[in-house]
């Protein structure tokens, strides 16, 4: 074919050019001698294939892992990157050592990458090699055009054709629709590469990102180290681009992204502008271009449509983001996900909590419309991706529609928009929450407050009395949001504080870690003499024993089953009992009998169950963990047997079943439990109860006739 001859001629010219440079005393690294010949070679390849191929050289960053040598565009679209190595180093990363090996750990996230040392060429996609490694017949460092044979050009043509035809392959499901979990996994390594580029740049005191990090810390997170800033940087840019695409940015460029975000997501718009200014781009160009290229492959609105199919929640049509961040973080950095507690509460649990709080507001506090009442201000102090706030919106406005009609919803939605607040410290979830809350309210006809939704990127534990930071003018829009969050903490009369803050097991609290173990919420503020707000919650919950008057009624002292053959006495006060079990205590009565047994593992020798007429301790059966307590009756009066539904019809055992009111049973051929007699019983006793069944006994534990 004509273009095969053109590629062969171009490859020979490339080899001649490398030989000429390598045999002449020139300044620079040996691999630099490949740059000019390689650039010229790729242009000729593009001409042969009727493509406009442009290789953009990346800036060399001394002392760092750096970026690939070339970004390659075909017909104005980024298709991949090329990393050049000194002839003789090879193109097989498995043989790399030192700097080259460390660099490969960074570069293997790139979805389309060529390694080339002039003699060897290899194509890698997300760390996996495509095609066989192409090795020229000779050495370009010394042999010139004699290093190239026709077969070399033919094999290299196939590799380059594949490289230049690349475009991001967005994961899809069996119906060809966007697979969002797969897309989260695709995006995560690119965001991680951006994070690593930023962390690498921060090691250089001359990097413009060092000053940017200083301003960012001063404004939002004073205690953030370089790693945390790099992570916040990468997630902010990634999710700003995602939301811009979701808001219709087309084509997806930084300028179009900022424009698409400006109206509804001003903080993210300004953050994206600041974090990706011209000076910063010089440090992160490779990873940033890849992010833009990949995200641009998702059609505007594609994520929302995908999640409508996967999770139809909160009755709203635009729930693309509910689980996306959790999927993303699991692939991006599992340790960060664990440390941040980014495990989101099941929607069913959230809805139940919202219903219970609404019932309290309505029936105990006299707020007829619950969350939708004008006097109810709601705050989620750890908003995550906004699930609790969305549940409040759904429940409150659903109640309005049911009681006052659909025509009343837009007005109440506008009121609700003024009365719900959310705080979030992680940029990714903050971006998601702001999007979801604003859409949910607008979809129900709300007019949002002039300053937008009351969702703020802030540290909930930071004191509201902290001095506002002094920042450059271009950061003022971000500083204003921080100021608004501080004002909410100081002046807004919050009635409902709900949510599921991340669980963080930490060392004992001391003076040094106050900020991380409760901050002003737990310890108060040294500039404010009033008690910590946690005390407002704790005081109504339980009055300290030291404050109880001497003449107050004495709590009941009752007998309880400490161990199977050991009865003790306890003060029946929840403040003195570890793991007080209200359902167990409510079922106690004169006729009650408790069975204790082990259900977590097969029983060995000894009794299968022990019995107590007094409320038993959790460790009653064996003196340690694992026991299951089974009341014979579900109520304290002994009127409702604690048995499986359908037991009395006899179908479960295929034997006659006789019900009686007494505890006793006069039969030697069966078992009587809680007034139920099963003739010729052949099943473990625990299967009679509305609880987990016991593991099947080991062979040989029953008598030959099957009786226990």
C-beta separation of 375 from 423 below 8 A: no
Query: For residue range 24-33, what is the model confidence (pLDDT) as tens digits?
Result: 755 556 777 8
691 confidence band (pLDDT: 50, 70, 90): very low
Query: For residue range 546-602, what is the model confidence (pLDDT) as tens digits?
Result: 777 778 888 889 999 988 888 999 988 877 787 778 888 888 988 899 988 888 788
431 confidence band (pLDDT: 50, 70, 90): confident
- Classify each residue of 263-278 as buried b or exposed e, where b means 16 or more C-beta atoms within 10 Å of its C-beta: ebbbbbbbbbbbbbee
Task: Give the pLDDT of residue 300.
Answer: 75
Distance CA 30, CA 88 (A): 10
Distance CA 379, CA 393 (A): 12
Distance CA 58, CA 35 (A): 11
Residue 338 scores a pLDDT above 90: no
Residue 48 scores a pLDDT above 60: yes
Query: For residue range 621-637, what is the model confidence (pLDDT) as tens digits?
Result: 888 766 788 898 888 88
Task: Give the pLDDT of residue 301.
Answer: 62
Task: Pick the more confident residue, 526 or 630.
Answer: 630
C-beta separation of 62 from 28 below 8 A: no
The total of other beta-carbon atoms located within 10 Å of residue 579's CB is 6
Lowest mean pLDDT among 216-220, 270-274, 413-417: 216-220
Peptide bond into 663 cis (omega under 30): no
Lowest mean pLDDT among 1-10, 11-20, 133-142, 246-255: 1-10
Task: Give the pLDDT of residue 286.
Answer: 84
Q: Which long-range contacts (CB under 8 A, 24 or more apart) does 182-186 make?
A: 183/298, 183/303, 184/324, 184/327, 184/328, 184/330, 184/331, 185/327, 185/331, 186/294
Phi, psi of 134 (to 5 degrees): -95, 125
List CB contacts of 576: < 8 A, sequence separation 6 or more: 555, 570
List CB contacts of 494: < 8 A, sequence separation 6 or more: 377, 378, 379, 421
List CB contacts of 699: < 8 A, sequence separation 6 or more: none
List CB contacts of 276: < 8 A, sequence separation 6 or more: 237, 254, 284, 288
Distance CA 708, CA 705 (A): 9
- As to burial, measured by CB atoms within 10 angstroms (0-12 exposed, 13-18 middle, 19+ buried), residue 683 is middle
Task: Give the pLDDT of residue 681.
Answer: 39
DSSP letter for 618, please.
T
List CB contacts of 395: < 8 A, sequence separation 6 or more: 351, 354, 355, 358, 370, 371
User: Can you tell me the mean pLDDT for 381-403?
Assistant: 92
Residue 501 scores a pLDDT above 70: yes
The total of other beta-carbon atoms located within 10 Å of residue 10's CB is 22
- Classify each residue of 453-475 as buried b or exposed e, where b means 16 or more C-beta atoms within 10 Å of its C-beta: bbbbbbbbbbbbeeeeeebeeeb
Distance CA 120, CA 135 (A): 5
Helix (H, G, I), strand (E, B) or coil at 24: coil
Task: Give the pLDDT of residue 283.
Answer: 79
Task: Give the pLDDT of residue 369.
Answer: 93
C-beta separation of 145 from 41 below 8 A: no
Query: For residue range 130-163, what is the model confidence (pLDDT) as tens digits?
Result: 988 999 999 999 999 999 999 999 999 999 999 9
Query: For residue range 108-138, what is the model confidence (pLDDT) as tens digits?
Result: 989 999 999 999 999 999 899 998 899 999 9
User: Can you tell me the mean pLDDT for 337-353?
Assistant: 76
C-beta separation of 465 from 392 below 8 A: no
Task: Give the pLDDT of residue 628.
Answer: 82
Query: For residue range 220-246, what is the model confidence (pLDDT) as tens digits?
Result: 666 778 888 898 889 889 989 988 888
Beta bridge partners of 70: 57, 82
Beta bridge partners of 389: none
Lowest mean pLDDT among 352-366, 458-472, 643-657: 643-657
**Measured at the alpha carbon of residue 643, what is the angle toward residues 639 and 644, in degrees to the nearest 5?**
135
What are the structure tokens assigned to 580, written together? 């007080």
DSSP codes joined into one string, 455-498: EEES-TTS-TTSPPP---GGGHHHHHHHHHHHHHHHH---SEE-
For the chain, report the end-to-end CA distance as a whole number of angstroms. 86
Task: Give the pLDDT of residue 484.
Answer: 87
Query: For residue range 435-450, what is the model confidence (pLDDT) as tens digits?
Result: 889 888 998 999 999 8
Mark out the alpha helices in 296-424 (DSSP H runs): 302-310, 324-332, 334-340, 347-363, 387-404, 409-419
List CB contacts of 30: < 8 A, sequence separation 6 or more: 22, 86, 87
Mean pLDDT of the chain: 80
507 confidence band (pLDDT: 50, 70, 90): low
Distance CA 603, CA 588 (A): 27
Q: Which of 325, 344, 322, 320 is nearest to 177 (CA)?
A: 320
Residue with tokens 């009794």: 607
- As to burial, measured by CB atoms within 10 angstroms (0-12 exposed, 13-18 middle, 19+ buried), residue 395 is buried
Query: For residue range 353-386, what is the model confidence (pLDDT) as tens digits?
Result: 999 999 999 999 999 999 999 999 999 999 988 8
User: Can you tell me the mean pLDDT for 348-356?
Assistant: 92
List CB contacts of 386: < 8 A, sequence separation 6 or more: 380, 422, 429, 432, 433, 436, 437, 455
Distance CA 9, CA 5 (A): 6
C-beta separation of 42 from 55 below 8 A: yes
Residue 463 scores a pLDDT above 90: no
Percent of the chain with pLDDT over 90: 31
Distance CA 616, CA 596 (A): 8
Residue with tokens 């509804």: 264
Phi, psi of 81 (to 5 degrees): -130, 160
697 confidence band (pLDDT: 50, 70, 90): very low
Residue 664 scores a pLDDT above 50: no
Task: Give the pLDDT of residue 627.
Answer: 73
What are the structure tokens assigned to 308, written together? 């409508």
C-beta separation of 389 from 422 below 8 A: yes
Q: Hey, what domains does the chain have and what are their CATH numbers?
A: 2-164 (3.90.1570), 180-326 (no CATH), 344-497 (no CATH), 511-545 (no CATH), 557-688 (no CATH)
DSSP letter for 30, please.
G
Beta sheet of 70-74, edge-to-edge order: 53-57, 70-74, 77-84, 113-116, 120-125, 128-135
What are the structure tokens assigned to 673, written together? 């439990």
Helix (H, G, I), strand (E, B) or coil at 185: helix
Residue 76 half-sphere exposure toward CB, CA atoms < 13 A: 1
Task: Give the pLDDT of residue 515.
Answer: 67
679 confidence band (pLDDT: 50, 70, 90): very low
Residue 666 scores a pLDDT above 50: no
User: Can you tell me the mean pLDDT for 641-645?
Assistant: 77
Beta bridge partners of 127: none
Mark out the alpha helices in 630-703 (DSSP H runs): none
DSSP letter for 118, please.
S
Mark out the alpha helices in 503-634 (DSSP H runs): 519-523, 533-541, 582-586
Task: Give the pLDDT of residue 322.
Answer: 60
Task: Give the pLDDT of residue 701.
Answer: 37
Task: Pick the more confident residue, 180 or 292.
Answer: 292
DSSP letter for 676, please.
E
Task: Give the pLDDT of residue 304.
Answer: 57
Query: For residue range 276-320, what is the model confidence (pLDDT) as tens digits?
Result: 888 888 778 888 988 999 999 888 765 655 544 443 334 343 455
Distance CA 473, CA 485 (A): 19
Q: Which of 487, 412, 419 is nearest to 454 (CA)?
A: 419
């Amino acid at each position: 074919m004509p273009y095969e001859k053109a590629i062969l001629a171009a490859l020979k010219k490339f080899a001649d050019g490398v030989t000429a440079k390598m045999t002449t005393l020139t300044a620079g690294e040996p691999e630099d001698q490949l740059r000019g010949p390689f650039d010229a070679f790729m242009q000729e390849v593009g001409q042969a294939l009727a493509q406009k191929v442009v290789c953009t050289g990346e800036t060399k960053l001394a002392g760092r892992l750096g970026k690939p040598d070339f970004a390659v565009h075909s017909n104005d679209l980024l298709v991949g990157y090329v990393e050049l190595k000194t002839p003789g180093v090879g193109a097989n990363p498995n043989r790399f050592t030192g700097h080259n090996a460390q660099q490969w750990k960074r570069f293997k996230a790139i979805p389309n990458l060529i390694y080339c040392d002039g003699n060897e060429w290899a194509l890698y996609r997300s760390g996996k090699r495509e095609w066989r490694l192409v090795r020229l017949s000779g050495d370009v460092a010394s042999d010139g055009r004699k290093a190239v044979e026709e077969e070399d050009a033919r094999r290299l043509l196939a590799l380059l054709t594949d490289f230049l035809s690349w475009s991001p392959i967005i994961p899809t499901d069996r119906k060809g629709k966007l697979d969002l979990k797969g897309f989260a996994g695709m995006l995560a390594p690119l965001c991680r590469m951006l994070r690593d580029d930023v962390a690498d740049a921060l090691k250089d005191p001359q990097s413009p990102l060092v000053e940017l990090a200083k301003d960012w810390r001063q404004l939002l997170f004073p205690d953030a180290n370089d790693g945390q800033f790099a992570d916040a940087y990468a997630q902010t840019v990634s999710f700003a681009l995602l939301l811009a695409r979701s808001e219709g940015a087309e084509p997806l460029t930084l300028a179009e992204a900022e424009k698409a975000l400006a109206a509804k997501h001003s903080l993210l718009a300004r953050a994206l502008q600041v974090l990706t200014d011209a000076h910063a781009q010089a440090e992160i160009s490779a990873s940033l271009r890849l992010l833009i290229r990949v995200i641009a492959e998702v059609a505007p609105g594609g994520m929302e449509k995908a999640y409508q199919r996967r999770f139809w929640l909160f009755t709203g049509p635009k729930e693309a983001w509910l689980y996306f961040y959790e999927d993303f973080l699991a692939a991006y950095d599992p340790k960060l996900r664990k440390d941040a507690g980014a495990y989101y509460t099941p929607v069913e649990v959230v809805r139940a909590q919202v219903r219970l709080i609404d019932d309290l507001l309505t029936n105990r506090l006299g707020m007829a419309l619950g969350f939708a009442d004008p006097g109810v201000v709601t705050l989620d102090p750890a908003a995550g991706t906004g699930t609790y706030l969305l549940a409040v919106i759904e429940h409150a406005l659903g109640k309005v529609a049911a009681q006052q009609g659909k025509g009343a919803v837009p007005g109440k939605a506008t009121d609700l928009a003024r009365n719900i607040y959310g705080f979030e410290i992680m940029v990714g979830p903050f971006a998601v929450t702001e999007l979801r809350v604003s859409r949910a309210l607008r979809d129900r006809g709300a007019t949002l407050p002039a300053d937008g939704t009351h969702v703020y990127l802030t540290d909930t534990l930071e004191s509201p009395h902290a001095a506002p930071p002094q920042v450059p003018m271009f950061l003022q829009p971000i500083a204003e949001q921080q100021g608004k969050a501080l004002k909410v903490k100081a002046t807004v009369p919050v009635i409902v504080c709900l949510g599921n803050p991340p669980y963080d097991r930490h060392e004992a609290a001391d003076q040094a870690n106050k900020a991380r173990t409760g901050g002003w919420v737990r310890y108060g503020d040294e500039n404010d003499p009033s008690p910590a707000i946690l005390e407002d919650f704790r005081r109504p919950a339980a009055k300290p024993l030291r404050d109880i008057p001497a003449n107050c009624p004495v709590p009941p002292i009752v007998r309880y089953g400490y161990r199977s053959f050991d009865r003790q006495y306890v003060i029946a006060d929840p403040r003195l009992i570890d793991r007080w079990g209200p359902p167990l205590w409510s079922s106690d009565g004169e006729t009650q009998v408790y069975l204790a047994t082990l259900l977590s593992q097969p029983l060995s020798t000894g009794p299968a169950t022990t019995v107590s007429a007094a409320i038993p301790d959790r460790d009653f059966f064996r003196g340690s963990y694992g026991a299951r307590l089974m009341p014979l009756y579900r109520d304290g009066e002994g009127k409702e047997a604690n048995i499986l539904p359908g037991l009395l019809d006899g179908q479960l055992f295929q034997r006659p079943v006789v019900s009686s009111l007494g505890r006793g049973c006069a039969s030697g051929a069966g078992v009587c439990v809680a007034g139920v007699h099963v003739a010729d019983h052949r099943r473990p006793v625990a299967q009679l109860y509305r609880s987990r069944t016991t593991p099947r006994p080991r062979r040989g534990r029953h008598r030959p006739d099957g009786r226990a």
